[in-house]
Structure 1
Amino acid sequence: MVRVADLESGKFWKHIGMSTIVGVDGITRIQLTVNEDLLQFYGNLHGGVIASMIDSAIAVVVNQQLDSGEGASTIELKVNYLSSISEGTLWAEGKVIKKGRNVVVAQGELKNDAGKLLAIGTATFMVRQMAR
C-alpha cells in the first residue's frame, strides 16, 4: 500500500513546495506557501499548482482507504477556481465520496489560512493491484 510519506517524497511535491500536515482532528492536509516562482504572468498562483494541491489532497485520502497491495491513479480531475491567489499559506483537504472495487470518486477543497474557500475539485481514481 502507498503511504502518505511515499506520496510526499515525490520530486514534484518537493519542487512546488507541498507538504503534509496532520491536524489535531486527524485529517491529513496538504500545505503550500505561495512563492514568486509559482506565480503566473499576471501575478497570481498558477492554476496548475492549485489543481496539483487538490489532486494531491484527494490522493492522500484515497490512498489511506486502499487495501494492502492496491494503488490508485487519477483518471479524471475537475477544478473550479473560486478566487485568485497571490500570497499566503494554502491548505487542501480531500474526502472520499464513494470507493468501489475499481474506481474511487472524491472531492477536494483549497483554503487559505483565514479559511476562505479558494478552489474545489472532484476526481476519479482507478484502483489497481500493485506489482509485487
Structure 2
Amino acid sequence: MDYDATKIISVEPVFSLLGAKIIELKEGYAKIAIEYKSELTRRGGVLNGGIIMTTMDFAGGLATLTVNDGIDQVTQELKTNFLEPMSKGPFYCEGRVVRKGRTTVVVEIKFFDSENKLGAIGLGTWYIIRDRKIQK
C-alpha cells in the first residue's frame, strides 16, 4: 500500500502546527519526527507532556492506518508512561501494531530524543469504523 505523507499531514492541521514529519510508513509501522521548538516546552525547556502524547497519538494512528480495512478510525484509548524529560530534539516517535482485530487495533508507541534516549512509552487502542450509520 502506498501512503502519501503530505496528504496525510495536510488533513490534520495540528500536525502541521507541530511541524511533524513522516519518516517511515509501512504495514504495521510508523515513524515520525518533530523538531525542538521553545513554544512546545514547559519550564526548563522540557518538551510538554501533551505535545509528547499528541505525537504518540499521531504515530499510533498512522501505524493503525496502514492496517485499517475500514473507512476510518478513532483513538479509543492511549496510556502513556513518561520516563525521562525530553529536551534534545529532533524527537522521534515510533508506532508498531501489536494486534489487529476486526474492530480494534492495539499499538505500542515509543518516543525518543535525538540521542535515542527513551522518553515515553505508550499503548493505544484504535477503533476501526466500518460504516457511518447511526444505530438506535
With normalisation by structure 2, the TM-score equals 0.83
Q: Can you give the 5+ residue segments of structure 1 that lack an aligned partner in the other structure? A: none
- Cross-structure match for 1:105: 106
- After superposition, the CA RMSD in angstroms is 2.0
Q: Are the counterparts in 1 of residues 98 and 107 from structure 2 also a CA contact under 8 Å?
A: yes
Q: Which residue of 2 aligns with 1:38?
A: 40
- Partners of 2:6 and 2:94 in 1: how far apart? 16
The answer as to 2:20 corresponding to 1:18 is: yes
The residue number in structure 2 matching 1:47 is 49
Hey, what's the Cα distance between the residues in 2 that align with 1:123 and 1:77?
A: 4
Work out whether residues 23 and 33 of structure 2, in 8 Å CA contact, stay in contact via their aligned partners in 1. Answer: yes
User: Deviations 1:32-70 (Å, cap 9, x if unpaired)?
Assistant: 011111011343111011001111111111000112x42
Give the counterpart letter for 1:61 in structure 2. Answer: A
Q: Percent identity?
A: 29
Question: Helix, strand or coil: the match of 2:68?
Answer: coil
Gapped runs of 5+ residues in structure 2?
Answer: none
Change (3 A) 1:5 1:62: farther
Runs of 4+ in 1 over 3 A off after TM superposition: 2-7
SS at the partner of 2:17?
helix
Tell me how far apart the structure 2 counterparts of residues 130 and 92 of structure 1 sit (CA, whole Å): 30
Equivalent AA in structure 1 for residue 108 of structure 2: Q
Q: TM-score, normalization: structure 1?
A: 0.85
Q: Which amino acid aligns with 2:53?
A: A
AA aligned to 2:94 is: E
